[in-house]
Every structure is written in C-alpha cells, then in structure tokens.
Amino acid sequence: MNNIIVALEMMGMGMLGIFTAMIIIMIMTFILAKADASSAKKSADKASK
C-alpha cells in the first residue's frame, strides 16, 4: 500500500520528468536509428565474427 502512494506521488511530481524522458528517448532512438543505418554493415561484420 505504501508503494502505491509513493508511486502516485512520483507520478504527480514527475509528469514533467516523464515527458522530458520520453522526448530524450525519442531523440536517442532517432540518433541511434541514423547511426545504425550508416554502420549496419560494420556491426553485422562484428556479429558474424
């Protein structure tokens, strides 16, 4: 029961944090997608070895 209250408080205080975290995750996935597109062959070679 105590954990639920703490979770609700964190959700209430951290809505802005969750929003910014989602933006950061989207930006990181976008950058990683571009990096993967350029270095897909390199990582594939490493994986095969």
Distance in angstroms (rounded) separating the CA atoms of residues 30 and 49: 27
Tell me the whole-structure pTM to 2 decimals: 0.44
Instruction: Count how many domains the chain has.
Output: 1
Tell me if residue 49 falls in helix, strand or coil. coil
Predicted pLDDT of residue 44: 66
Residue that the structure tokens 């954990």 belong to: 3
Amino acid at 49: K
On whether the CB atoms of residues 43 and 36 are closer than 8 A, the answer is yes
Range of the domain at 27: 2-38
Give the total residue count for the chain: 49
Residue 47 inside a domain? The answer is: no
Digit-by-digit pLDDT tens for the chain (49 residues) are 688 888 877 777 777 777 888 888 999 999 888 887 777 666 666 776 6
Distance in angstroms (rounded) separating the CA atoms of residues 14 and 43: 37
Residue 25 inside a domain? The answer is: yes
